[in-house]
Amino acid sequence: MNIIDKIEGLEILDSRSRPTVMARCRLKNGVTGVASVPSGASTGKAEAHELRDGDPGRYQGLGCRQAVKNIEEVISPHCSGKVFTDQAAFDQALLQLDGTPNKSNLGANAILACSIAFARALAAKDNLPLYKYFGRLTDNTHFKLPRPTINLFSGGKHAGGQVEVQDLLIVPVSAITMDDCLRDVNAVFHAATQLISNKYNMRALTADEGGLAPGFKDIRAMFEDALQAIEMAGLRPGKDIALATDVASSHFYGDGKYHIAGQERNAMEMVDLIAGWVSEYPLISVEDGLAEDDWDNWPVLKKNLDGKSLTLGDDLLCTNVNRIQRAIDTQSANALLLKVNQCGTLTEAAQAFLLARENGWHVTVSARSGETEDNWLADLAAGWSGDHIKIGSITQSERLAKYNRLLEMEKFEKMSVRG
């Protein structure tokens, strides 16, 4: 029986030295589960509410003491001694207890930490690897590793804003194993650090998610440098290594215009700009090509990219079933960027995932720019057999905790990478 004894919280620090939340869920039989949650910087307006203390004397107001207090003084007493048959029952209890549409009462950070800590406790109780437990939530038993999409270059809110485009990612497409995917990515990353040192006369300083961020002359230079690094590594652009991008255009959109590359563009001009990149470069996925509220123009973007590149929604969708349904109905996208903390419980994330899948969409499971050493995201991506995973670069331990877990599942759980 899944009877909760108590749930404790802890304020910890993420990879940007900002507070975030860890929770520990103990069942009456003594089994415990621990989980930490990530946090974004380039956030969508429709995300569930991340509760921060607002006390300027601690961590610039970003403290999470209240979220921890909510775990220990509201959620734990409410759940203690109760039986929760499954994840859905537990998450439902959290939603009811919070009582708001965006989790602003208890905080999505407090709620998600409990949701995942409960999942870890149940997996431990049933003696299941976490990915198998996650698989239960979407009725998946054919586990596959997602193909990684890895940040090579960074701009926008994750770097100094030297170019507006937030991420240029590389996707190892010819490698068959995770081991070989990471080998190829490492070769390109290494070549890119040399290129940057020669061309920009600077060391390979990295942005929030580990991408390199030299002072590119313009956006095209970022694409060109990526192609050059791939070739320097002895790999073929498009054949061995494809490209993906997160334009994150909500963050340079204002007054109905896209403020990019020193120009003001309307939506049609923005679509033309992106379509130009897609025809010129081996881009297989374009995330947030338009702004989160620019619903009228997303169908035009998708039409332009269909058959060439995925139209991937992050800020547009915020892992929210209502927004995903709207995008399906209006043919605004064909791929979901799934970030569990955008919605705030595993059950809601599973619903978002299933809705996307039932409609033939592609799913990229994603980390956040503020991450922790917790690796549950790798198990989630494998447990649900996501198509792609976006964790960041391969230089920082909060990212490598997940990549290394993917390697572990490849070897010890005999999982193969999605084709």
Is 239 a residue of the active site? Answer: no
| 3-state SS, residue 87 | helix
Q: Residue 151, interface with ligand PGA (CB under 6 A)?
A: no
| 3-state SS, residue 151 | strand
H/E stretch holding 67 reads: helix 65-70
Q: Residue 314, interface with ligand PGA (CB under 6 A)?
A: yes
What is the smallest separation between the CB atom of 77 and ligand PGA, expressed in angstroms?
Answer: 32
Dihedrals φ, ψ of 133, to 5°?
A: -60, -45
Stretch touching Zn ion by CB under 5 A, among 1-9, 255-263, 309-317, 400-408? 309-317
For 115, how many CA atoms within 13 A lie in the half-sphere containing its CB?
A: 29
Select 154 or 334, whichever has its Cβ closest to ligand PGA.
154
Beta bridge partners, 337, equal 364
Select 166 or 372, whichever has its Cβ closest to Zn ion.
166
Catalytic residue among 209, 287, 292, 410: 209
CA–CA distances in Å: residue 114 to residues 6, 93, 120, 268, 344: 11, 11, 10, 44, 10
What is the smallest separation between the CB atom of 29 and ligand PGA, expressed in angstroms?
Answer: 36
Q: Which of 36, 311, 369, 372 binds ligand PGA (CB under 6 A)?
A: 369
- Contacted entry of Zn ion, ligand PGA, none for residue 43, CB cut-off 5 to 8 Å set by kind: ligand PGA
Instruction: Specify whether the CB–CB gap between 320 and 342 falls below 8 A.
Output: yes
d(CA 92, CA 353): 18
Helices (H) and strands (E) in the chain, counts: 14, 14
What is the smallest separation between the CB atom of 42 and Zn ion, expressed in angstroms?
Answer: 6
Is 339 a residue of the active site? Answer: yes
Per DSSP, 49 falls in state: P
Q: Which two tokens stand for residue 301?
A: 């973007």
Q: Residue 42, interface with ligand PGA (CB under 6 A)?
A: yes
Cβ-count burial of 80 within 10 angstroms (0-12 exposed, 13-18 middle, 19+ buried)? middle
Catalytic residue among 103, 339, 390, 402: 339
Q: Residue 371, interface with Zn ion (CB under 5 A)?
A: no
Q: Residue 41, interface with ligand PGA (CB under 6 A)?
A: yes
Q: Residue 172, interface with ligand PGA (CB under 6 A)?
A: no
Q: Residue 246, interface with ligand PGA (CB under 6 A)?
A: yes
User: Which residue matches tokens 């921890």?
Assistant: 68
What's the residue count for the chain?
419
Nearest residue to the partner ligand PGA, using Cβ: 40
Nearest residue to the partner Zn ion, using Cβ: 314
| 3-state SS, residue 23 | strand
Instruction: Specify whether the CB–CB gap between 317 and 359 falls below 8 A.
Output: no
**Touching ligand PGA, residues 11-40 (CB under 6 A):** 40
Select 95 or 278, whichever has its Cβ closest to Zn ion.
278
Per-residue contact string for residues 181-220; x = within reach of ligand PGA by CB under 6 A: ----------------------------------------
Select 332 or 347, whichever has its Cβ closest to Zn ion.
332
Select 7 or 247, whichever has its Cβ closest to Zn ion.
247
Instruction: Specify whether the CB–CB gap between 356 and 324 falls below 8 A.
Output: yes
Q: Residue 132, interface with ligand PGA (CB under 6 A)?
A: no
Q: How many residues bind Zn ion (CB under 5 A)?
A: 2
- For residue 70, give the amino acid letter: N
Select 164 or 314, whichever has its Cβ closest to ligand PGA.
314
Nearest by Cα to 105 from 56, 71, 61: 71
What is the smallest separation between the CB atom of 390 and ligand PGA, expressed in angstroms?
Answer: 7
Q: Which two tokens stand for residue 359?
A: 């409609």
d(CA 89, CA 128): 19
Pairing state of beta strands 147-154 and 388-390?
A: parallel
Select 43 or 140, whichever has its Cβ closest to ligand PGA.
43
Per-residue contact string for residues 237-276; x = within reach of Zn ion by CB under 5 A: ---------x------------------------------
Chain positions contacting ligand PGA, by CB under 6 A: 40-43, 166, 246, 248, 314, 366, 368-369
Q: Which residues are catalytic?
A: 209, 339
